[in-house]
Homo-oligomer: A and B are copies of this chain.
Amino acid sequence: MKAVEFRPLRGIPQVHAGDDLAALLGDAADRDVRAGDILVVTHKIVSKAEGRVVRLDSVTPSSMAAAFAAEWGRDARQVEIVLRESRRVVRMARGMIISETRHGFVCANAGVDLSNAGGLELAVLLPEDPDASARLLREKLSRRLGFDLPVIITDSFGRPWRSGIVNVAIGVAGMEPVTDYRGVRDPHGYELSASVMGTADAIAAAAELVMGKTGGVPAAVARGIDFHGGEGGAAALVLEPEKNLFP
Protein backbone atom coordinates (compact mmCIF):
# COMPACT_ATOMS: atom_id res chain seq x y z
CA MET A 1 0.00 0.00 0.00
CA LYS A 2 1.26 3.45 -0.93
CA ALA A 3 0.16 6.89 0.16
CA VAL A 4 -2.95 8.46 -1.28
CA GLU A 5 -3.60 12.15 -1.69
CA PHE A 6 -6.73 14.26 -2.03
CA ARG A 7 -6.31 17.64 -3.70
CA PRO A 8 -8.89 20.38 -4.08
CA LEU A 9 -9.49 21.18 -7.74
CA ARG A 10 -9.25 24.94 -7.95
CA GLY A 11 -10.47 27.47 -10.44
CA ILE A 12 -13.94 26.12 -11.14
CA PRO A 13 -16.29 29.07 -11.71
CA GLN A 14 -19.93 29.34 -10.61
CA VAL A 15 -21.95 26.85 -12.66
CA HIS A 16 -25.27 27.70 -14.31
CA ALA A 17 -27.91 25.73 -16.18
CA GLY A 18 -26.72 24.74 -19.61
CA ASP A 19 -23.02 25.17 -18.85
CA ASP A 20 -20.67 22.60 -20.36
CA LEU A 21 -19.46 21.22 -17.05
CA ALA A 22 -16.82 19.01 -18.66
CA ALA A 23 -15.29 22.09 -20.26
CA LEU A 24 -15.29 24.00 -16.96
CA LEU A 25 -13.76 21.05 -15.11
CA GLY A 26 -11.35 20.41 -17.96
CA ASP A 27 -9.79 23.85 -17.70
CA ALA A 28 -9.00 23.07 -14.05
CA ALA A 29 -8.06 19.46 -14.75
CA ASP A 30 -5.51 20.44 -17.41
CA ARG A 31 -3.41 21.91 -14.63
CA ASP A 32 -4.01 19.51 -11.76
CA VAL A 33 -4.95 16.03 -12.96
CA ARG A 34 -2.64 13.15 -13.90
CA ALA A 35 -3.07 9.64 -15.25
CA GLY A 36 -4.16 7.35 -12.41
CA ASP A 37 -6.17 10.04 -10.65
CA ILE A 38 -9.89 9.89 -9.87
CA LEU A 39 -12.01 13.03 -10.21
CA VAL A 40 -14.54 13.62 -7.42
CA VAL A 41 -17.33 16.12 -8.12
CA THR A 42 -20.08 17.31 -5.78
CA HIS A 43 -23.45 16.70 -7.35
CA LYS A 44 -24.50 20.30 -6.80
CA ILE A 45 -22.59 21.63 -9.81
CA VAL A 46 -23.69 18.64 -11.89
CA SER A 47 -27.33 19.31 -10.99
CA LYS A 48 -26.97 23.01 -11.74
CA ALA A 49 -25.35 22.42 -15.12
CA GLU A 50 -28.11 19.94 -15.97
CA GLY A 51 -30.81 22.40 -14.95
CA ARG A 52 -32.02 20.22 -12.06
CA VAL A 53 -33.05 23.32 -10.15
CA VAL A 54 -36.59 24.32 -9.20
CA ARG A 55 -37.77 27.79 -8.18
CA LEU A 56 -39.64 27.45 -4.90
CA ASP A 57 -42.14 30.09 -6.03
CA SER A 58 -43.17 27.78 -8.90
CA VAL A 59 -44.29 24.99 -6.55
CA THR A 60 -47.81 24.40 -5.20
CA PRO A 61 -47.68 22.12 -2.16
CA SER A 62 -50.08 19.20 -1.78
CA SER A 63 -52.21 19.12 1.35
CA MET A 64 -49.95 16.45 2.87
CA ALA A 65 -46.86 18.56 2.23
CA ALA A 66 -48.61 21.63 3.64
CA ALA A 67 -49.77 19.81 6.78
CA PHE A 68 -46.37 18.25 7.49
CA ALA A 69 -44.59 21.55 6.87
CA ALA A 70 -46.99 23.45 9.14
CA GLU A 71 -46.62 20.91 11.94
CA TRP A 72 -42.83 21.02 11.89
CA GLY A 73 -42.04 24.55 10.78
CA ARG A 74 -40.70 23.60 7.38
CA ASP A 75 -41.14 25.17 3.95
CA ALA A 76 -44.14 23.42 2.38
CA ARG A 77 -42.78 23.95 -1.12
CA GLN A 78 -39.55 22.16 -0.24
CA VAL A 79 -41.52 19.31 1.35
CA GLU A 80 -43.57 19.06 -1.84
CA ILE A 81 -40.43 18.82 -3.97
CA VAL A 82 -38.94 16.20 -1.65
CA LEU A 83 -42.07 14.06 -1.99
CA ARG A 84 -42.06 14.46 -5.79
CA GLU A 85 -38.43 13.36 -5.89
CA SER A 86 -39.19 10.25 -3.82
CA ARG A 87 -40.48 6.95 -5.02
CA ARG A 88 -41.08 5.72 -1.46
CA VAL A 89 -41.20 7.39 1.94
CA VAL A 90 -39.23 5.34 4.48
CA ARG A 91 -39.88 7.53 7.55
CA MET A 92 -41.65 10.85 7.88
CA ALA A 93 -41.49 11.99 11.49
CA ARG A 94 -40.32 14.82 13.73
CA GLY A 95 -39.97 17.11 10.73
CA MET A 96 -37.60 14.75 8.95
CA ILE A 97 -38.27 12.91 5.71
CA ILE A 98 -36.22 9.83 4.87
CA SER A 99 -37.15 8.47 1.50
CA GLU A 100 -35.96 6.38 -1.37
CA THR A 101 -35.13 8.33 -4.49
CA ARG A 102 -35.81 7.14 -8.01
CA HIS A 103 -32.14 6.03 -8.07
CA GLY A 104 -32.66 3.75 -5.05
CA PHE A 105 -30.76 5.96 -2.60
CA VAL A 106 -32.28 6.18 0.87
CA CYS A 107 -31.49 9.58 2.31
CA ALA A 108 -32.93 12.67 3.95
CA ASN A 109 -35.03 15.02 1.82
CA ALA A 110 -34.47 12.93 -1.33
CA GLY A 111 -31.18 14.78 -1.69
CA VAL A 112 -32.97 18.10 -2.29
CA ASP A 113 -30.93 21.10 -1.08
CA LEU A 114 -32.15 24.66 -0.72
CA SER A 115 -30.12 27.38 -2.33
CA ASN A 116 -30.42 30.97 -3.35
CA ALA A 117 -29.25 32.84 -6.41
CA GLY A 118 -29.88 36.48 -7.14
CA GLY A 119 -32.62 36.66 -4.51
CA LEU A 120 -34.46 33.64 -5.91
CA GLU A 121 -35.15 30.73 -3.59
CA LEU A 122 -34.15 27.54 -5.32
CA ALA A 123 -34.19 23.81 -4.68
CA VAL A 124 -31.30 21.87 -6.16
CA LEU A 125 -32.33 18.29 -6.98
CA LEU A 126 -30.14 15.25 -7.49
CA PRO A 127 -29.09 14.67 -11.10
CA GLU A 128 -31.66 12.66 -13.08
CA ASP A 129 -29.13 9.84 -13.61
CA PRO A 130 -25.86 10.50 -11.73
CA ASP A 131 -24.15 7.46 -13.28
CA ALA A 132 -24.89 8.82 -16.75
CA SER A 133 -23.61 12.21 -15.63
CA ALA A 134 -20.41 10.57 -14.37
CA ARG A 135 -20.01 8.59 -17.60
CA LEU A 136 -20.37 11.72 -19.71
CA LEU A 137 -17.79 13.62 -17.63
CA ARG A 138 -15.43 10.64 -17.79
CA GLU A 139 -15.76 10.37 -21.57
CA LYS A 140 -15.29 14.06 -22.29
CA LEU A 141 -12.46 14.59 -19.81
CA SER A 142 -10.62 11.39 -20.77
CA ARG A 143 -10.71 12.45 -24.41
CA ARG A 144 -9.41 15.89 -23.54
CA LEU A 145 -6.67 14.69 -21.18
CA GLY A 146 -5.52 11.70 -23.22
CA PHE A 147 -5.88 9.18 -20.39
CA ASP A 148 -8.79 7.52 -18.64
CA LEU A 149 -10.17 9.59 -15.77
CA PRO A 150 -12.68 7.81 -13.51
CA VAL A 151 -15.34 10.11 -12.06
CA ILE A 152 -17.25 9.93 -8.76
CA ILE A 153 -20.23 12.24 -8.15
CA THR A 154 -20.99 12.78 -4.45
CA ASP A 155 -23.69 13.92 -2.10
CA SER A 156 -23.52 14.23 1.67
CA PHE A 157 -25.84 11.82 3.49
CA GLY A 158 -26.79 11.48 7.12
CA ARG A 159 -26.50 8.01 8.59
CA PRO A 160 -28.82 6.07 10.91
CA TRP A 161 -27.27 5.84 14.39
CA ARG A 162 -24.26 7.99 13.45
CA SER A 163 -24.11 11.72 13.99
CA GLY A 164 -22.81 14.01 11.27
CA ILE A 165 -23.08 13.70 7.54
CA VAL A 166 -20.46 12.17 5.25
CA ASN A 167 -20.07 12.24 1.51
CA VAL A 168 -21.07 9.15 -0.45
CA ALA A 169 -20.85 8.25 -4.13
CA ILE A 170 -24.12 8.69 -6.03
CA GLY A 171 -22.58 8.38 -9.51
CA VAL A 172 -19.54 6.34 -10.53
CA ALA A 173 -17.84 5.84 -13.91
CA GLY A 174 -14.56 4.19 -14.79
CA MET A 175 -13.92 2.18 -11.64
CA GLU A 176 -15.41 -0.57 -9.49
CA PRO A 177 -17.42 1.19 -6.75
CA VAL A 178 -16.82 -1.65 -4.29
CA THR A 179 -13.81 -3.86 -3.68
CA ASP A 180 -14.75 -7.48 -3.15
CA TYR A 181 -12.47 -9.50 -0.89
CA ARG A 182 -14.83 -12.48 -0.58
CA GLY A 183 -12.85 -15.70 -0.81
CA VAL A 184 -9.67 -13.84 0.13
CA ARG A 185 -8.07 -15.15 3.30
CA ASP A 186 -6.27 -13.28 6.02
CA PRO A 187 -2.67 -14.17 6.96
CA HIS A 188 -4.03 -16.92 9.26
CA GLY A 189 -6.20 -18.55 6.61
CA TYR A 190 -9.51 -17.11 7.80
CA GLU A 191 -11.82 -15.99 5.06
CA LEU A 192 -12.49 -12.28 5.48
CA SER A 193 -16.03 -12.11 6.76
CA ALA A 194 -17.30 -8.60 6.11
CA SER A 195 -15.28 -8.21 3.00
CA VAL A 196 -16.90 -5.98 0.45
CA MET A 197 -15.45 -2.52 0.95
CA GLY A 198 -17.39 0.55 -0.16
CA THR A 199 -14.35 1.99 -1.90
CA ALA A 200 -16.09 4.76 -3.86
CA ASP A 201 -17.89 5.85 -0.69
CA ALA A 202 -14.57 5.99 1.19
CA ILE A 203 -13.10 8.14 -1.60
CA ALA A 204 -16.16 10.38 -1.56
CA ALA A 205 -15.94 10.78 2.22
CA ALA A 206 -12.26 11.67 2.04
CA ALA A 207 -12.71 14.17 -0.77
CA GLU A 208 -15.03 16.21 1.45
CA LEU A 209 -12.03 16.91 3.68
CA VAL A 210 -10.53 19.08 0.92
CA MET A 211 -13.74 20.41 -0.61
CA GLY A 212 -15.26 21.66 2.61
CA LYS A 213 -18.85 22.61 3.23
CA THR A 214 -18.18 26.31 2.96
CA GLY A 215 -14.94 26.42 0.95
CA GLY A 216 -16.71 26.65 -2.36
CA VAL A 217 -14.48 23.95 -3.85
CA PRO A 218 -16.87 21.67 -5.74
CA ALA A 219 -14.36 19.07 -6.99
CA ALA A 220 -11.28 17.21 -5.84
CA VAL A 221 -8.66 14.88 -7.23
CA ALA A 222 -7.89 11.53 -5.56
CA ARG A 223 -4.35 10.42 -6.33
CA GLY A 224 -2.62 7.12 -5.64
CA ILE A 225 -5.76 5.04 -5.04
CA ASP A 226 -5.32 1.35 -5.82
CA PHE A 227 -8.67 1.03 -7.61
CA HIS A 228 -10.03 -1.57 -9.99
CA GLY A 229 -11.04 -0.27 -13.39
CA GLY A 230 -14.56 -0.96 -14.62
CA GLU A 231 -17.63 0.68 -15.98
CA GLY A 232 -18.83 1.70 -12.53
CA GLY A 233 -22.41 2.37 -11.52
CA ALA A 234 -23.49 3.56 -8.10
CA ALA A 235 -26.16 0.84 -7.98
CA ALA A 236 -23.41 -1.44 -6.63
CA LEU A 237 -23.43 0.78 -3.53
CA VAL A 238 -27.14 0.30 -2.92
CA LEU A 239 -27.81 -2.64 -0.61
CA GLU A 240 -29.61 -5.55 -2.26
CA PRO A 241 -33.11 -5.99 -0.78
CA GLU A 242 -32.30 -9.47 0.57
CA LYS A 243 -29.46 -8.06 2.65
CA ASN A 244 -31.40 -5.07 3.83
CA LEU A 245 -32.73 -5.46 7.38
CA PHE A 246 -34.20 -1.95 7.39
CA PRO A 247 -36.90 -1.79 4.71
| A residues adjacent to B (C-beta < 8 A) | 1-8, 91, 93-94, 96, 98, 105-106, 108, 113-117, 156, 158-168, 177-179, 181, 184, 186-190, 192-199, 201-203, 205-206, 208-217, 225-226, 236-240, 242-246
Question: Most B CB atoms within 10 A — which of A160, A164, A189?
Answer: A164
| A90–chain B nearest beta-carbon distance, Å | 8
16 further contact pairs, Cβ within 8 A, besides A4-B5, A161-B244, A202-B209 = A4-B6, A94-B242, A159-B239, A161-B238, A163-B198, A163-B237, A163-B238, A163-B240, A164-B177, A164-B198, A164-B201, A166-B197, A184-B214, A192-B214, A201-B205, A202-B208
A239 and B161 form a contact (CB under 8 A): yes
B163 and A236 form a contact (CB under 8 A): yes
Q: B residues within 8 A CB of A161? A: 105-106, 238-239, 244, 246
Interface of A is mostly: mixed
Q: Which of B1, B158, B210 contacts A4 (CB 8 A)?
A: B210
Query: Can you spell out 7 A-B residue pairs with CB atoms less than 8 angstroms apart?
Result: A1-B217, A4-B6, A115-B186, A164-B196, A181-B213, A202-B205, A203-B209
| A142–chain B nearest beta-carbon distance, Å | 22
A106 and B246 form a contact (CB under 8 A): no
A201 and B166 form a contact (CB under 8 A): yes
Kindly report which residue of chain B lies nearest to residue A108, judged by CB atoms: B194
Take A96-B245, A212-B1 as given contacts and tell me if A178 and B197 are in contact as well, using a CB distance cutoff of 8 Å: no
Q: B residues within 8 A CB of A177? A: 164
Kindly state the separation between the CA atoms of A162 and B211 in the bound complex, as whole angstroms: 23
A164 and B237 form a contact (CB under 8 A): yes
Take A6-B3, A186-B115 as given contacts and tell me if A162 and B238 are in contact as well, using a CB distance cutoff of 8 Å: yes
Question: Most B CB atoms within 10 A — which of A158, A188, A215?
Answer: A188
Kindly report which residue of chain B lies nearest to residue A225, judged by CB atoms: B209
| A28–chain B nearest beta-carbon distance, Å | 14
Question: Most B CB atoms within 10 A — which of A161, A178, A206, A240?
Answer: A161
Q: B residues within 8 A CB of A91? A: 245-246
Q: Which of B6, B159, B186, B240 contacts A214 (CB 8 A)?
A: B186
Q: B residues within 8 A CB of A214? A: 181, 184, 186, 192
